C-alpha cells in the first residue's frame, strides 16, 4: 500500500468500466503513469460473471455487482431494488451483451429535418466519428452495414445461425432492413466474454507497464480547494488512504460519478464539487425498453439465443426520435423469466410483501413453456434530458425520475410502429407498462459550452476544476437511439487526446 501513497501519479482514474478502462489504456500507452481505483474486486481466476439475484452487499460485491439497492423515486413513488450495475473490474461491461452500435449524425447534431432536443452536442458528428472509428478498432467490432445508415469500419461477422436467418427472412419479408448487429469481438481470456472495459482497457493499460490497478478501493471523497482537486480519500480493503495525482478522472458511471461529486461537498463547494452550475446529477436519462418475443417461421432448428440481429427502421419515425431494435441474446427461459418478474415486483407497490417472489415461479414456468423457441427483441427508445430527473446525494445511490408525457407519447408511437410492421408474424409484447432500462443510465454530468447549463466542457474537463475530467456515460447531453458503450469509449479517447495535448 505504501507504494500507492508514496508514488506520484500523472492520473488517478476512479472506476474501471468502459470509460475508465479505455481512457486509462490511452493514457498509459502514451506513457502517462496511471492509477486505477476500483470499488469492486477483480474476478477470481476462471470466474464468469453474470447478473444474479443476491441480496447481501458482500455477496453481491464479490460477484462484481453494485452492492446496495438503488433508492428510486419514480413518478413520486418510492422503491428500492438492485439495479443491473457492475462494481468490479470492468464495471457494468463485464455483464453487457457487447452490442456496440454507432450513433447517427442527428443523435449529435441539430438538423433542419431532425431538430436536436438540446440544440446539439458541442462536438460535431464528423469529429466524434473519428473517435468512434478508433473505439471500433479497440473492440475489434464486427457486423454488417446498416442498409439504412452510413458506412462504418467493421470486421466480417460469423454467418447467421439457421434460426437467425429465419428471423432475418421474416423481417425482410415484412419490408424491414435487418443487419448483423455491431458487436465486440470476444476476448481470448478463458471466459471468452465480449471485449469490455477490463479486457479492452485495463488489461492492455497494465501490459504497457505504466498503469497500476487497485481493486476494492472505493473513493469516498474528493478533496478540493477552490479550483482544483488536491487528493482523493479512498477506502482500500476497509482502510482509509489519501492519494494524489496531477489529474483526476472520474469514471464511476452515470450514477456513481455524480454521487461522488455530490457527496464531496465542503466549505468551498457546499452543493458538491464542480457544481457551481447546480447541474451535477441532473438530466438523468435511461432508455425505455420495448421488449417482445418473436418466433421464427416454420420449423427452424433450435440454435440458442441470438444477439446478432439489429434494425433501424423506427430510429427516426414520423418526425420523432425513437430508437433501434435488436435481439437481446436471451431466450425466454424459466430462469430469465423468474429474474425479470422478480425485478418487476421489486419495483412495484407489492415490493414489501414477504415471500412474494416465490409466487413468480409458477407463471414463469408457464411462460417458459409458452415461449418455447421465441427470441427476445428489445427496442431502445431514446430518453431526453430533464433537469428534474436526477441523482441525489446520500449514503446509497439515490435517484428521482419522472416519466415525461412526451416520452410516453413516443413510446406509444414506437409500440404502434413495431406492431404494425410485424403484423402477421407470431410475436408477443413482453412489457405492458413503460420499462426503464436501469443498465443504461447517462447524462448526469453533461458536456456543454455554457458553464451555467453543463458540468463539463466539450473536452470532458470540469468547467470549475482545472485538473478534473470525466470519462463515462455521464457526459452525454442526450441518450441517443443506440446502446451507449461505443460512444462512451469514443468519448474516453476524445478526453485522452485533450489531456495528452497538455500533458508533459
| 499 belongs to the binding site for ligand FAD (CB under 6 A) | no
Q: According to CB under 6 A, which one of 95, 371, 377, 401 is a site residue for ligand FAD?
A: 95
Beta pairing partners, 213: 36
Min dist CB 63 to ligand FAD, Å, is 12
Instruction: Spell out, one character per residue from 145 to 164, where the chain touches ligand FAD: x when CB under 6 A holds, - when not.
Output: --------------------
Cβ within 8 Å of residue 234, ≥6 positions away: 37, 214, 217, 218, 219, 220, 240, 241, 242, 243
| 439 belongs to the binding site for ligand FAD (CB under 6 A) | yes
Cβ-based nearer residue to ligand FAD, 300 or 473? 473
| 99 belongs to the binding site for ligand FAD (CB under 6 A) | yes
Interatomic CA distance for residues 54 and 352, integer angstroms: 17
Give the count of beta carbons closer than 10 Å to the beta carbon of residue 154.
Answer: 18
Pairing of strands 390-392, 309-311: unpaired
Pairing of strands 316-317, 398-401: unpaired
Min dist CB 17 to ligand FAD, Å, is 2
Min dist CB 188 to ligand FAD, Å, is 20
| 252 belongs to the binding site for ligand FAD (CB under 6 A) | yes
| 256 belongs to the binding site for ligand FAD (CB under 6 A) | yes
Cβ within 8 Å of residue 310, ≥6 positions away: 99, 101, 143, 146, 178, 179, 180, 181, 182, 324, 325, 326, 327
DSSP 356: G
DSSP states along 243-304? E-EEEEEE-SHHHHHHHHHHHT--SS-TT-TT-TTS-TTBS-EEEEEEEEEEPPSSS-----
Sole window of 18-26, 117-125, 268-276, 396-404 interacting with ligand FAD (rule: CB under 6 A): 18-26
| 219 belongs to the binding site for ligand FAD (CB under 6 A) | yes
Cβ-based nearer residue to ligand FAD, 391 or 407? 391
Expressed in angstroms, the distance from the first to the final Cα of the chain is 27
Q: According to CB under 6 A, which one of 13, 70, 87, 243 is a site residue for ligand FAD?
A: 87
DSSP 392: E
Whether the CB-CB separation of 472 and 455 falls below 8 Å is answered with no
Interface residues for ligand FAD in 405-424 (CB under 6 A)? none
Min dist CB 196 to ligand FAD, Å, is 8
Interface residues for ligand FAD in 280-319 (CB under 6 A)? none
Whether the CB-CB separation of 475 and 445 falls below 8 Å is answered with yes
Instruction: Spell out, one character per residue from 456 to 485, where the chain touches ligand FAD: x when CB under 6 A holds, - when not.
Output: ----------------xx---------xxx
Burial grade of 11 (CB within 10 A; 0-12, 13-18, 19 or more):
buried
Interface residues for ligand FAD in 29-68 (CB under 6 A)? 37-40, 51
| Residue in this structure with the C-alpha cell 415525461, named with its chain if needed | 404
- How far is residue 424 CA from its own chain's centroid? 34
DSSP states along 361-383? HHHHHHHHHHHTT-EEEEEEEPP
Q: According to CB under 6 A, which one of 100, 154, 380, 470 is a site residue for ligand FAD?
A: 100
Min dist CB 84 to ligand FAD, Å, is 4
Q: According to CB under 6 A, which one of 24, 43, 91, 460 is a site residue for ligand FAD?
A: 91
Min dist CB 338 to ligand FAD, Å, is 16
Sole window of 78-86, 161-169, 376-384, 408-416 interacting with ligand FAD (rule: CB under 6 A): 78-86
At 107, give phi and psi (nearest 5°). Answer: -65, -30
DSSP 464: S
Interface residues for ligand FAD in 189-218 (CB under 6 A)? 218
Min dist CB 430 to ligand FAD, Å, is 16
| Residue in this structure with the C-alpha cell 425485478, named with its chain if needed | 343
Q: According to CB under 6 A, which one of 32, 80, 92, 375 is a site residue for ligand FAD?
A: 92
| 14 belongs to the binding site for ligand FAD (CB under 6 A) | yes
| 16 belongs to the binding site for ligand FAD (CB under 6 A) | yes
Residues that bind ligand FAD in the complex, under the rule CB under 6 A? 14-20, 37-40, 51, 84-88, 91-93, 95-100, 218-219, 251-254, 256, 260, 439-440, 472-473, 483-485, 488
Amino acid at each position: 500500500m505504501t507504494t500507492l501513497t508514496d508514488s506520484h501519479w500523472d492520473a488517478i482514474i476512479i472506476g474501471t468500466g468502459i470509460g475508465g478502462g479505455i481512457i486509462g489504456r490511452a493514457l498509459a500507452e502514451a506513457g502517462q503513469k496511471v492509477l486505477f481505483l476500483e470499488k469492486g474486486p477483480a474476478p477470481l481466476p476462471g470466474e464468469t460473471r453474470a447478473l444474479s439475484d443476491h441480496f447481501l452487499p458482500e455477496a453481491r460485491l464479490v460477484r462484481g455487482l453494485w452492492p446496495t439497492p438503488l433508492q428510486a423515486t419514480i413518478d413520486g413513488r418510492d422503491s428500492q431494488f438492485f439495479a443491473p450495475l457492475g462494481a468490479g473490474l470492468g464495471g457494468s461491461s463485464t455483464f453487457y451483451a457487447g452490442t456496440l452500435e454507432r450513433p447517427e449524425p442527428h443523435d449529435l447534431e441539430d438538423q433542419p429535418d431532425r431538430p436536436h432536443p438540446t440544440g446539439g452536442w458541442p462536438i460535431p458528428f464528423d469529429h466524434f466519428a473519428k473517435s468512434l472509428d478508433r473505439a471500433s478498432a479497440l473492440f475489434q467490432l464486427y457486423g454488417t452495414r446498416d442498409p439504412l445508415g452510413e458506412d462504418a469500419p467493421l470486421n466480417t461477422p460469423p454467418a447467421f445461425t439457421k434460426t437467425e436467418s429465419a428471423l432475418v427472412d421474416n423481417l425482410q419479408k415484412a419490408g424491414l432492413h435487418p443487419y448483423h448487429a455491431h458487436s465486440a469481438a470476444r476476448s481470448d481470456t478463458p471466459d471468452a466474454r465480449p471485449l469490455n472495459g477490463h479486457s479492452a482497457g485495463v488489461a492492455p493499460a497494465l501490459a504497457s507497464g505504466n498503469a497500476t490497478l487497485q481493486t476494492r478501493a472505493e473513493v469516498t471523497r474528493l478533496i478540493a480547494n477552490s479550483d482544483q482537486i488536491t487528493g482523493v480519500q479512498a477506502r482500500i480493503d476497509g482502510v482509509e488512504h489519501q492519494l494524489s495525482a496531477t489529474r483526476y478522472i472520474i469514471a464511476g458511471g452515470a450514477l456513481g460519478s455524480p454521487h461522488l461529486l455530490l457527496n464531496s461537498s465542503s466549505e468551498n463547494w457546499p452543493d458538491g464539487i464542480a457544481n457551481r452550475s447546480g447541474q451535477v446529477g441532473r438530466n438523468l436519462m435511461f432508455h425505455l425498453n420495448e421488449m417482445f418475443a418473436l418466433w421464427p417461421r416454420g420449423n427452424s432448428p433450435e440454435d440458442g439465443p441470438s444477439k446478432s440481429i439489429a434494425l433501424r427502421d423506427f430510429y427516426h419515425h414520423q418526425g420523432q426520435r425513437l430508437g433501434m431494435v435488436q435481439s437481446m441474446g436471451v431466450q425466454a427461459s424459466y430462469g430469465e423469466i423468474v429474474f425479470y418478474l422478480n425485478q418487476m415486483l421489486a419495483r412495484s407497490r407489492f415490493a414489501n410483501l414477504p415471500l412474494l417472489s416465490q409466487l413468480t415461479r409458477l407463471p414463469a414456468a408457464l411462460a417458459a413453456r409458452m415461449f418455447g423457441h421465441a427470441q427476445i427483441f428489445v427496442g431502445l427508445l431514446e430518453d431526453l434530458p430533464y433537469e428534474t430527473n436526477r441523482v441525489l446525494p446520500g449514503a446509497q445511490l439515490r435517484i428521482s425520475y419522472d416519466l415525461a408525457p412526451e416520452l410516453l407519447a413516443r413510446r406509444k408511437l414506437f409500440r404502434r410502429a413495431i406492431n404494425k410492421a410485424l403484423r402477421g408474424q407470431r410475436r408477443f409484447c413482453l412489457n405492458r407498462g413503460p420499462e426503464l432500462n436501469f443498465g443504461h443510465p447517462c447524462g448526469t454530468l453533461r458536456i456543454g459550452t455554457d458553464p451555467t447549463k453543463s458540468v463539463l466542457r466539450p473536452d470532458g474537463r470540469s468547467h470549475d476544476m482545472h485538473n478534473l475530467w470525466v470519462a463515462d456515460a455521464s457526459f452525454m447531453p442526450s441518450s441517443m437511439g443506440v446502446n451507449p458503450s461505443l460512444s462512451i469509449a469514443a468519448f474516453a479517447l476524445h478526453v485522452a487526446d485533450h489531456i495528452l495535448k497538455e500533458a508533459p
